[in-house]
Structure 1
Amino acid sequence: MLVVLANDLPAAVRGRMKLWFVEPRPNVFVSGLKDSVANEVVDYLYQHCSLSAGILIFKSLPKPPGYEIRTIGTPTRSITELNGLQLVFEKSGPGTLL
């Protein structure tokens, strides 16, 4: 499985992504591609997206923890690593407990 979250994609890249992915929300793409095709899509994104695209890529892996997270540019959410586990860091709003 491959999930791509973007701040801003070029129109040509977004159109191409719609060939392989379901877009449940603008700039959120989800697909169950095979690993070899998923790697090609990730390579395509690295080649055709600028750093301003702010992309988070979640790719499933056959080994623990079962996924890897990659970024292109500076996405609105940051990635942190805790004991080898990649996590998405979200700022908590007022009145929320951590």
Structure 2
Amino acid sequence: MEGLTISVADILWIAAALTTLAAAWKVLKNNPIAKHDKRIEKNEKRLNDHDERFARDLARLQDAEAADKIMCKCLLTLIDHEITGNGTERMKQIRTELQQYLIDK
């Protein structure tokens, strides 16, 4: 029965193997990669939501800029008319632009 003797080295080797297997099982059970993937997916959803909001806000700002531009044209034409007493053709042109803007909006 010489082949069945177990030395201290064999016991230590078996303990180390069991410890390694237990550590590997713990890592696989917690699966930090899957948790990381979930965080990435969550952040991608948030980023897409922010991109959509940014696009809407940009469109609103561009629309507000266009409205400001047409209003400034109207005011300038009114001031010119008040000062010179004429310029009715320019006023008609700006009125048409304003009507077109309001219709398109």
Q: TM-score over 0.5 for the alignment? A: no
Higher helix proportion (structure 1 or 2): 2
Say which structure, 1 or 2, has more relative contact order (CA 8 Å, 6+ apart): 1
TM-score (norm: length of structure 2): 0.26
TM-score (norm: length of structure 1): 0.27
Which has the greater radius of gyration? 2
Higher strand proportion (structure 1 or 2): 1
